[in-house]
Amino acid sequence: MTNKLDYTNSELDLIQRWQADDEDAFDKLYTLHSPAIYRLGWAVLQQAQAAEDVVQETFLRAHKARYRFDPSKASFGTWLYQIALNYCRSHLRRKHLLTIPWLRQNDETPDMPDGRPGPESVALRGEYRRLLWEAVQNLSMPLKEVVTLHYYLELPAVEIAKLLDCPEGTVYSRLHNARRRLAELLTAQGITTPEIFETQNAH
């Protein structure tokens, strides 16, 4: 079957070598993809050690299932994200955590870069971001997941659909519902819709 996905020749070669039990190829794939898996683990679990566990468990499971991975059906990155997200869900169930613990009062709260100069702007944007992510806690898990994947990990809807195994239209619907619900929650706190969207789109 012809590979129609957007692989570089070098990555596809690494995958093929890895599936042929080349340990050096596996090490290189780990180096390429582990930062993204750590970022997902940290976004969902909000703990450095837990995020490291996500990376190790994801690659352990991927290595065990390497012969079943078909590069013509999914990108390697998306496949790893699926494994990592499933592990995170299991971790949350085991710990009886039904919400993504993004907001804790410490210096590691997920942040969005601020493009405006000046201390007043920085402080204001920081408060908007804090309230935004706090409001995310009140979303259902399906909405939280698409918000995490799209706004925090910056994945496009087409990749999120593959990752969550749902139609792309469902992703757009969940994003729309999440934005509407967040607008309702934050408007109740005195933050207008334009301010919310400006905060989400700050780069």
DSSP letters along 27-45, please?
Answer: HHHHHHHHHHHHHHHHHHH
Q: What is the predicted pLDDT for the residue at 155?
A: 86
Q: What is the predicted pLDDT for the residue at 109?
A: 42
Q: What is the crossing angle of helices 119-136 and 168-187, to 10°?
A: 120
Model pTM score:
0.67
Which residues of the chain are under the pLDDT cut of 70?
Answer: 1-7, 95-129, 192-203
Q: What is the predicted pLDDT for the residue at 47?
A: 83
- Selection from 85, 55, 98, 106 nearest residue 160 by Cα: 85
Q: What is the predicted pLDDT for the residue at 124?
A: 47
Which residues touch 166 (CB under 8 Å, ≥6 apart)?
Answer: none
